[in-house]
Structure 1
Amino acid sequence: MGAFIYFRKNKKKAVLISLVIALAAFCIYFITTLVGSVYATAFDAGVVPFSKFSVAVYKGKAEDGGISQIENLADIDKYYQVGVSSMQISTVMGTTSSYVILTDQTGELKEILDRCGITSDVEVNDLRENDLILHQDLLTNKKKKIGDKLEELRITGVYKGDVKEAFGLVSEEDFFTIGGPQSYLIFPKEGRMTDLNQELSDFDQGEWTIQSYDSALSNLDKDFSTINLILTIVVIMVSICIAIALAALVYTMYSHRYEEFAILNAMGYRKGQISKMIFVEIIMISTIATATGYALSLIALTLVNHFVYSGMGQTMQIFSIRNSLYTLILPLLVTVCALVSILQKLNGTDLISIIERR
């Protein structure tokens, strides 16, 4: 007795079940990965930069613009008075934003880039007023080239790396117009980022707006919490509906095989052995179909990443453990629903009486 003998003789039925499972697995992984790619893009642009520094914006009325509080931080290594703006980034499913750091001091700009580990293709000392250096992915996303203008700033250089931002040099007049003296780019002492952020979190929220790695990550997770919840509910509900429909189809197919089971029983095979055969058949079909759909989704996502995402300056996280777990929900539900109903009926059926009625 071997599994798949029936399906080798009834290939259309095996193909039908496999096709539905494979298609569902493909759609689940493909869609969840696309949604996850938006989060990844927003994370790279809005959270990763704060692994290097924190930003504090003073809104109070102190004459020194809050400098004394900044200088009294125990874990600070260096701070710079900067202007902080933002630039919109297009994604496959909407938009997000990246930061633009502006200063009126060439020396300070060079120090900031060095501290961020950024090496540009242009010498900072060669920059003039209203020149802008930005990440290569941002340049691609904005569909610009060197020499083009981004609002009032001229793109002069690009760089590659983890920190996906833009850094600009502006005139002293423009610097004061954008409120530069009230905004601070703060670098921690070596290995003291967590301690520095804790100190900043103790600042009066009525006087300060603090952007740190933890706060940026918390805000991003909060923005995506509803989307992730809806996505999880949709995946589970769709998986349940498809699983029930497939389980009913499989149950009907196996209901027409009881003469086969009765003959096997008459040949000396116990119900436990027949149940094992059924278990292996359903497990193998679900596994092979899911693996096929999963593999096809990886191929499709690779193509989308190459032809769509690269042209938008984004990189898709093609493999994801969470999305893979989402994909496994369907075959598990199909297997459980089908096996429970089929084996329950098999155990309650008198196979000997089927032979006697023939």
Structure 2
Amino acid sequence: MNPLSIFNYYTRNKRKALPVLGILTLAVFGISLTLVLTATIFDGVRGFVSPYYQFVVIEPNYNKKYTQLDAGLRADVRQSAHLALVAPVETAYLYGTILGIPTNFPIFGVSDELMPRLLQATETELLAGRLPTVRDDEVAIHESLMKTRGLRIGDHIGSDVNNEDPLDGKFQIVGELGGKTILNLVSLERLSKGRTPPQILLLPKDGEMSALVADLDALETERAVIQTPTYWNRFVERTLNQYDTLVGAINAVIIIVLSLGVGLLNMIYFRQRTGEFGILSGIGFSRSFLMRRVTLEALLLTIVAWILGMLLSVVVYQLLDTLVFGPQGTHLSIFNLRLLTGTLPVPVFVWIFSTLTIMWQLWRLDPVAVIDRRD
């Protein structure tokens, strides 16, 4: 091996390299944990609103004390050329969890005739059982929610069974639904108890959802809440920004403390190598050469640590996803851009701080004094 190779120091001083390598690897793993968990929560939030990207629900603006949709708005909505049908709907909610965080998922009360059309529009399949009917208090639940709650066809849900469930009454699960859209269905008559619901559901013509949304977004009214994808995107963005701000602040503190700690540790190691650098400088090697050498050494260590941290993260999270979370209906969001962009600051800032501290000492190095001390 080249005696001036950047690999020499770490090859000959494994006890000094391994602690730094281990600290950086675990730091990458720790930060990746926050990123994977928040990404999984974000996926859960998107799953919560996924039905509203396939159809639109309009309800009175209860916050403004409106309890019914006015006839003028109903007429304006029907003027869209991209509208396939308008139907009454009532929205209730089911208890669920995302990584243990309580979350209420919508369940839509629609007519028996509309259910097959909603399945087609949302590309949802009936995996088992059948669709609910008006004959009894029945529901069809998405498979992810059934796994999360440990439910099976034939089980009962509702506030009469579980106090945490916001769905009033007692309903039997008769169908299991599957697909990217988390769709839950119940008979409108059974949910509304025969009352005329104040909400309406708008189903677009095939491939014309975007055009329908554009027409609806142009309607301005304070009397109703038009739940288009634009409306839900604002909700999702607010939610994600809150999580991102919190996680970003925590990770920033971790990275700063880590950079200071590793930088000081490298400074101690450098002082133990003063003789090496003093002799190299004394026999003619320039400070720029020594600085380049130190820079490459630090870069090598941080890159290796980042790669090991990422590999450790992927292996651990994949095992957790397969053995723990997957069977419960939740899949960890492992392979995503957030994981890369969120962990990259660890090696970058540690490398910069470590390099600057050592370069500062190299700049002040007096090779003559070093050689005199060795004599």
Deviation of 1:198 (Å): 3.0
Q: 1:109 to 1:342 in 2, by over 3 A?
A: same
**Preserved contact between residue 38 and residue 93 of structure 1 (Cα < 8 Å):** no
Give the partner amino acid of 1:346.
L
1:1-358 matches, within 5 Å, as: 1-46=4-49, 48-58=50-60, 59=66, 67-103=74-110, 105-120=111-126, 121-124=128-131, 128-151=135-158, 152-171=170-189, 174-177=192-195, 179-180=196-197, 182-357=198-373, 358=375
SS, match of residue 107 in structure 1: coil
Which amino acid is the alignment partner of residue 241 of structure 1? V
Task: Compute the TM-score of the two structures, normalised by the length of structure 1.
Answer: 0.91
Give 1:111's aligned amino acid: R
Measure, in 2, the Cα distance between the counterparts of 1:173 and 1:193: 27
Secondary structure, counterpart of 1:171 in structure 2:
helix
Q: Report the Cα distance in structure 1 between the residues aligned to 2:277 and 2:366, rounded to whole angstroms.
A: 10
Q: In 1, are the aligned partners of 2:112 and 2:132 still within 8 Å (CA)?
A: yes
Match of 1:217, SS?
helix
TM-score using structure 2 length: 0.87
The more displaced of 295-304 and 122-131 is 122-131
Q: Secondary structure at the residue paired with 2:125?
A: coil
Residues in 1 aligned to 2:39 and 2:101: alpha-carbon distance in whole angstroms: 13
Shift of 1:96: 2.1
Conserved? CA contact 1:49–1:162, under 8 Å: no
Q: How many residues align?
A: 354
Q: CA deviation at 1:312?
A: 2.6
Quick one: which amino acid aligns to residue 226 of structure 1? Answer: Q
Q: CA deviation at 1:236?
A: 0.9
CA spacing shift, 1:235–1:98, aligned 2, 3 Å = same
State which drifts further: 26-35 or 309-318.
309-318
Q: CA deviation at 1:7?
A: 2.6
**Residue 117 of structure 1: how far off its partner (Å):** 2.1
- Say if 2:90 and 2:191, in contact at 8 Å, map to a contact too: no
The one-letter code of the counterpart of 2:216 is: L
What is the CA–CA distance in structure 2 between the aligned matches of 1:62 and 1:99, rounded to whole Å? 21
Q: Which runs of 5+ in 1 are unaligned?
A: none
SS in 2 for 1:317: coil
Q: Deviations over 1:236-264 (max 9, x none)?
A: 11101110111011012112212111222
**8 Å CA contact retained: 1:60, 1:206:** no
Residue identity in the other structure for 1:13 = K
Deviates more, 1:227-236 or 1:57-66: 57-66
Query: Using a 3 Å threshold, how does the CA distance of structure 1 residues 134 and 61 change in structure 2: closer, same or farther?
Result: closer
Q: CA deviation at 1:205?
A: 3.6
Alignment CA distance shift 1:88-1:102 (3 Å) = same
Q: Does the residue aligned with 1:157 lie in a helix, a strand or coil?
A: strand
CA distance in structure 2 between the partners assigned to 1:218 and 1:54 by the alignment: 15
Deviation of 1:172 (Å):
6.3
Deviation at 1:164, TM superposition (A): 0.5
Displacement after TM superposition at 1:320 (Å): 2.1
Deviation at 1:308, TM superposition (A): 2.6
User: Which range moved further: 243-252 or 273-282?
Assistant: 273-282
Distance (whole Å) between structure 1 residues aligned to residue 38 and residue 131 of structure 2: 38
Query: Which consecutive unaligned segments of at least 5 residues does structure 2 have?
Result: 61-65, 159-169
Distance 2:118 2:193 in 1: 16
